[in-house]
Amino acid sequence: MVRTTSILCLSLLLLACSGADKLTADDVVGYWTGDWGRMVLRAVGGEIWGAYDHDEGTAIGTLDGNGVMRGWWCEAPSRAVDYDAGEFEFTFSRSGDLSLDGRWRYGVDGEWKEDWDLVHVTDLPPPELEERFEDQGAFCPHP
């Protein structure tokens, strides 16, 4: 009986640590709000695209198996590397409400800035952010 209980406890522990609760694109798409205003994330093909308030910003990235989205952001007016574009990383977490701890930088060599944090919102996304997805030219792939 002790052995059966031990095996059951070990099995439950392994199941809890197995990644059964890993985040997928379906988990992270939707409406977010935080440090740089509002953002909407959508699954587009094998990528996740985002549209956010600050300077008509957009982002394109991919989500890995560890709940980290890496990609490229760009903003008006130029959407140019080193001025209005660069890399970002979002680490998603389910501790409490679904949230993300984000960092970003200009280009690929700039200093990382640790101030792009957001929480998931269940309200309907703002129409002006939803409409931005219609202009695919506003979304900049990583060079």
Flag whether 11 is in a domain.
no
Q: Which is nearest to 112 in space by CA: 92, 91, 132, 133?
A: 91
Domain CATH code at residue 68: 2.40.128
Flag whether 102 is in a domain.
yes
3-state SS class at 129: helix
Domain with 116, as residue range(s), is 22-138
pLDDT for the residue 118: 97
14-31 exposure pattern, b = at least 16 Cβ within 10 A, e = fewer: eeeeeeeeebebeebbbb
User: Rounded CA gap, 28 and 58, in Å?
Assistant: 16
Contacts for 80 with CB less than 8 Å, ≥ 6 apart: none
Binning pLDDT at 50, 70 and 90, where does residue 13 land? very low
Flag whether 10 is in a domain.
no
Q: Evaluate if residue 126 carries a pLDDT over 80.
A: yes
Flag whether 78 is in a domain.
yes
- Count the domains in the chain: 1
Total-model pTM: 0.84
Flag whether 143 is in a domain.
no
Flag whether 8 is in a domain.
no
Flag whether 61 is in a domain.
yes
94-103 pLDDT, tens digit per residue, is: 988 899 999 9
